[in-house]
Amino acid sequence: MTADRGPSTDLAPSSLAPTLLSTTRETTRTRPNARLLTLLALGHLVIDTNQGALPAILPFLREAFQLSYAAAGTIILAANLTSSVIQPLFGYLSDQTARRWLLPLSVLVSGLGLALTGMAPSYGAILALVVIGGLGVAAYHPEGYKTASHVAGDRKATGLSFFSIGGNVGFALGPPIITALVAGWGLWGSLGMLAPGLVVAGLLTAALPVLSAERSEKPRATLSADGREAMVRAMALLILVVTLRSWTQLGLTTYVPFFYIDLLKADPRIVGPLLFVFLGAGAVGTLVGGPLADRWGPRRFIISVFLLATPLAVLFLFARGLWAFVLLGAVGFVLVSTFSVSVVLAQAYLPRHLGMASGLIVGFAIGTGGVGVALLGWVADHWGLPLALGITAVMPFLGFVAACFLPEPRRT
């Protein structure tokens, strides 16, 4: 009898205490810090409001400075080279040590760059201000995504979707805000974009002690030794997929306004509502996409979404009236819903370098879309806007083909 009870004594409450304590700690660690996520999302909103406003102010700048389509596309290229392509550098610095002070500073600098764009005396000055604002955008995203990942708990896709929703809402609000300001007060109305940056930079500055005290969560799962090389290749393929998505998104936000104003002879004030529908639907898609990706897996979600985007984009090019708004919103919903999901997948491929992973996806991959916009501008100048937009519409299908070869993250 005693011998039979011996093994059972190993399961006594005292021996289970470490397991229960570990479980309690694990449960505590998975809870998101809603206040910090909300504050970071608010900063993301202001940052991307400035980014989203730039394509909407382009038609007014093009008219004021008599710019070609290629010159207008070069402004987007300059913005993306500075705001996105150099983000991996900020991501590398973020992985070395936390630089929370970059969060309020970057919000202020991005707002300053865009606010002064309407006052620029020349095309060169516009490019310089776009570069200044872009540096602010580049500095915010890696530090913001890394901090958001640390406080998001185990449901990374859902947590980062909440952070990303701020940016997507900002992209949606930027066009109607800048359109209203410029329509009401001329190009100098862009100065109004500085006010949100000042307010949110102040809030982030006040919260720096709390942000700095937030302890970083160490990744609990790492790649297996024999899978690291495969994950590097997977990361390169994911960058290609996100680049193709970026070409589509930036191509639509840049050239759809010109399509309506120059070819369809629509009122320039339609630009704000058009981009708001596209980017606003994308914000909703981001919020919906995170939980779905947590349930289905980020890889499967990305493949499914890319398959839907091309037919919707093609239908939009032939639609007019209300249906055009509906289809453009549908394209934005499915396309932009992969935004935060792609960051989650990138961080799974590079679990020990969260800042670099975020910089490569949100920065480099998306920023190279600016190169595509400049090339599309050259196509539009030589062969017309319809062809440029047609090329843009088929880009998601190429992304679908590339996404089919993405591997699942391998963990131990």
| Helix 271-296 × helix 156-185 angle, to 10° | 180
| pTM more than 0.85 | no
Q: What is the DSSP string of 137-160?
A: HHHHHHHHHHHHHHTS-S-HHHHH
Q: Of 68-72, 154-158, 310-314, where does mean pLDDT reach its minimum? A: 154-158
pLDDT at residue 98, rounded to an integer: 63
Inform me whether the pLDDT recorded for 6 exceeds 50. no
Q: Copy the structure tokens of residue 376.
A: 């599309």
| pLDDT band at 199; cut points 50, 70, 90 | very high
Residues 103, 140 contacting (CB under 8 angstroms): yes
Query: What range does the domain containing 373 cover?
Result: 33-403
Q: Measured between alpha carbons, how far is 266 from 258 in angstroms, rounded to an integer? A: 10
Residue 332 pLDDT exceeds 50? yes
CATH code for the domain of 375 = 1.20.1250.20
Asked if 256 and 270 touch (Cβ cutoff 8 Å), the reply is no
**Domain-embedded: residue 27:** no
Q: Phi and psi at residue 182, in whole multiples of 5°?
A: -70, -35
Distance CA 261, CA 392 (A): 18
> Would you state the pLDDT for residue 14?
42
Q: How far apart are CA 164 and CA 412, in angstroms?
A: 28
pLDDT at 32: 64
In the structure, what pLDDT confidence band is assigned to residue 330 with cuts at 50, 70 and 90?
A: very high
The answer as to whether 375 is a domain residue is: yes
pLDDT beyond 60 at 5: no
- Reply yes or no on whether the pLDDT at 151 is more than 80: no
145 domain-assigned: yes
pLDDT in tens, 257-301: 888 888 888 777 777 788 888 878 888 888 788 778 778 888 888
pLDDT of residue 162 exceeding 60, the answer is yes
Using alpha carbons only, give the angle 262, 266, 269 rounded to the nearest 5 degrees.
Answer: 110
Q: Are 404 and 244 in contact (CB under 8 A)?
A: no
Apex 207 CA angle, 205 and 208, nearest 5: 65
**What distance in Å separates the CA atoms of residue 162 and residue 297, rounded to the nearest whole number?**
17
Q: What is the total count of domains within the chain? A: 1
Q: What is the pLDDT of residues 402-412, one digit of tens each?
A: 999 988 876 54
Which pLDDT value is given to residue 211?
Answer: 67
Beta-carbon contacts of residue 196 (< 8 Å; ≥ 6 apart)? 46, 49, 111
Does some domain include residue 410? no
Answer yes or no: is pLDDT of 397 > 80: yes
Q: What is the DSSP string of 257-287?
A: HHIIIIIS---GGGHHHHHHHHHHHHHHHHH
Average pLDDT over residues 177-186: 89
What is the rounded average pLDDT for all residues in the chain? 79
Q: Please report which confidence band the pLDDT of residue 31 belongs to, taking 50, 70 and 90 as the band edges.
A: low
